[in-house]
Structure formats: C-alpha cells, structure tokens
Chains A and B, each alone.
Chain A
C-alpha cells in the first residue's frame, strides 16, 4: 500500500513540477526580453551560442525565443479551448440529463453525430475553411472539444439525479438551479477534472498538428507545430530545429498524461 501511494506521488509530483515550470515560463513570457521574429542572416541553421542556448532556425531566428513564444501560443489555445469546451459541454450535458425526455434524446443524437467525426478531422476542415489565426483555432478545436465534456457530465448527472440527497432537496422545495448548482455539480467535479487534464494534452497536440499542417497559427507567429514543420525540411543540416520544439511538446504532453493517470489512480477507490 505504502509503495503504491509513493509510486502515484512520484508521478504526480514529477508531472506537476514539469507543468509548473512551463506554466511559470509562459506567465513570464510577456515580461521576458524575447525576439522570436528577429532575423540574423549569419546565424542561419547555426547551433547553440551564448545568445540562444538552443541554436537558430532556417531564417536565423533564435530557437529559445521561438520556443517560449510557441509555449505561450500552445498554453493560450489549450486553456481557451478547454475553458470554452468545459463551459459549453458541461452546461449542455447537465441540463440535458437533468431535463430528460425529448431534449435529452435529441442531445444524445447530436453528441453521437459529433462523435462520428474521427479525431481532429472536423477541426482540420473547420480551421482550413475559416483560415489560420489563434481565434479560429480555438473555435475549431472547441467545436470538437465540447462533446467529451457533454457526454461525461450527462452520464454523471443521469446517475446523480436519482440519488436520495437530490430527491430530498427536491421534496424540500429547492429550485432546479439550486439543485443543479449545490447538489449535482459538486459531485461531477472529479471525473471532469480528469477529462480536463487529458483535454489539455489533446488540445496541445491538436494545435501543434493544425500548425504543422499550416492551418493553425499564422506565420511568423511561433507555434511548436509550425516549428516542427519548418525543421523537418532541414533534418540533415539542423536536426535541432525539430528536436527542440519536439522534446518540449513531448515533455508537456507526457506530464499532462501522467498527471491525468495519477489523479485517476488516486481517486480510484478500488485500488
């Protein structure tokens, strides 16, 4: 038992510290003296020096500065999408399950239809048609993202609304909004929290994927995905162009996945 707890704790603290460091750096980006778009022709494809610890890209821009600017983009999109999806998805899911009947039936069908689009395919189509830009990326990914939260919160509320404490609140004359906010929502937080952490990881990957395809953040703004795409043209001469944003992306996604895993294990009473 003790061994198990320490195992979860180790993963939990590792992922929390990796994410906190990134979060801190992202918060500090606006006050850092970064020049992600400054071009120095003599430094094209050069490796690290005292001005840029990660080297330079194909236009002679410092990779460290671009990595930080890319992190800022990634986290902004991730928080934006997860917030919009959480608010929209949970509201729809909770209300639909609580109301029940025809509305719930219709909602289930709509959720099924959105789930029929595999992965980020719908986001690729939407952001491709709407054009690049951070707002369009957030919209496109939210159109895909709300479904997970809606389905999860609906399933939660379906079982909670039958429980005795909700029945007694109702018999005491509590209003629907009071029952939802004080007696149902608090019980859905734990599973939504797990979905939220995995959601952040998938949004970070999806944003980078869209930018990799040239459908996400518009050049010259930095994004990890577009940095990886630019770098894959120069794999032979400057592998650091792919490795730097690639390792950063992998670290963040790995940390978020481990965090989600350890939260799930901690909340799982069966273990």
Chain B
C-alpha cells in the first residue's frame, strides 16, 4: 500500500517538475523579444535593460531555470511588474474567492446531477430518461461564457433576483456557481446514470429487492455506494476543468479570483503574475488528481494491485 502511494507521489513530482519547466519556458516561447512585448515598442533602451536584468533574461537559459527553481523553493514568485507588489501577496488575496466559487459550483453540480442521474437510471429508455439526458447534453453544449450572460439576462435583468456582477455576500455567488456548475452537473449525471445502470443488474441488488426493501433504500444503501467509485474519479478529474472554467466565469461576473487575476495580468503583460497563476492552478490540479488516484487505490484494492 505504501509502495503504491509513494509511486503515485513520485510520478506527481515528475509531472510538477515538467509543469514548472513549461511555465518557465512560456516567457521564452513568445515570438520576438519578451521584454519588448512586455514594455511595448516605445520603451526606452534603459528601461528595457533594467527589466531584462530584473527578470534575469540576460543570463544563459540553464542559469535562469536554476534561479527560477531556487526562488520557487523559497516560495519567492517574483514581483508584479505592474503593481510592484510581491506576486505571492497578490495570489493570497485572490485564492479565497476562487475556492469559494469552485466549492459552490461543486455543490450545484451535486444537487443537479444526483437527482437527474438516478432518475434517468431508474426510468431507463422512458421519457424521464430522455428528458434528463437531453438536459445533460444541453448542459455540455452551452459554454459558460454563454451560460453566464443568459443567466444574467434572465435572473438579474428580467427578474431582478440576483446582482449582475461582483462579490457581495452569498446572493452574488448563486449565478457564478450555477454557470460554472452546470457543465459538471451534465457530465456527472451521465456518469451516475451509466454506473448505476451497471450496478442495478447485479445479484445483490436483486437480493435486496427480494428482501422487500423499497426503491429508496435499494438505491441509497446498496446501489449508490457501489456506483460511486467511477463518479469519485470523475469528480477528481473534473475539478481541473472547474478551475479552468473559473477563469472565464470570473471574467463574466467580475468575480475577483485567480482567473480574473490571470486574464488581467495577461492583458497587462505582467509575466511573473501570469506564470505564478498558471503554476498555482496546474499544480493544484496535479495534487488533486494524485489524491484522487490514492483514494481510489485505497477504496478499491484491485486498482493498486494491478499496477
């Protein structure tokens, strides 16, 4: 067991190292001179040289990478070119709103996906199933930059129930969470339906029914518990998509989180902040995936033994 966990952690570390390398290389992938891209063509040569030295771009590539790694190990993410604040301070301010939004979206996804998925599985090939799966297909097909404005149009402008944008109390969280959570709800409900359908044909379900248990108890106590494994993996994998989706959702609703900071920094060409945001979001994703793998292995011995 500990061997399996160590193996997962080791490969996660390799992936994180690769992610750090790609994020470091981002600045060098820009066509032309990155300093000119950041400052614009009108900047004086003195300013350019200063920025080049500040970012260490005048040194050989390998030395730059070693320095970048060294600074990262000290949790030094550099200084924002725009606000001159340490990048880590900027990130700390922006993390709570994004975590809040992601958790709320997960809650929305659960609340929508479980009833839809269970209903569709119980009423397979009937109109309830078709309707639930049509909703799910629609949910997958409406991107959140369209869902957001549509929800604002309906619930903020026409009905006046929720604020259009900003972060001011729980009520302002509803529309962004709905926007971000719907796509996940759509994918999740399909997964719940599929894995419930597989479980519902098992012998122990027939036994439970034969004992005279009601549908609610059969589903709640026997079927769902066993159908949850693939669902848990999917949730782990989808949290990354949720974090990426949060970037766009935060822009739609002017939600002051990491996503908004990423896009604002890209627009201002504030490289150290862009690098830090991408690094933080991707590393979080890798860690969550690794944890999901480990939990999956703990829950299902077949997984860890097969590797």
Contacts and interface: CB of A to CB of B under 8 A. Distances in A.
Contacts, number: 132
A112 B19 CA distance: 10
A228 B149 contact: yes
A213 B27 contact: no
25 contacts: A113-B15, A113-B19, A116-B15, A116-B16, A116-B282, A116-B285, A117-B19, A118-B241, A119-B240, A119-B245, A120-B244, A125-B266, A128-B266, A129-B27, A131-B37, A209-B145, A212-B145, A225-B145, A228-B145, A229-B145, A235-B149, A242-B146, A249-B143, A253-B142, A257-B140
Contacts of B157: 235-236
Interface of A: prevailing SS: helix
Interface of B: prevailing SS: helix
Contacts of B289: 116
A258 interface: yes
Nearest to A206: B143
A186 to B, nearest CB: 30
Interface of A: 109-110, 112-114, 116-122, 124-126, 128-131, 201, 205, 208-209, 212-215, 225, 228-229, 231-232, 235-236, 239, 242, 246, 249-250, 253-254, 257-258, 261
Contact of A118 (B26, B140, B153, B244): B244
B247 A121 contact: yes
Interface of B: 11, 14-16, 18-19, 22, 26-27, 29-31, 37, 137-138, 140-143, 145-146, 148-150, 152-153, 157, 240-241, 243-245, 247-248, 251-252, 262-263, 266-267, 271, 274, 278, 281-282, 285-286, 289
A228 B146 contact: yes
B248 A209 contact: yes
Contact of B282 (A121, A215, A231, A258): A121
Given A117-B19, A253-B141, A257-B141, A124 B247 contact: yes
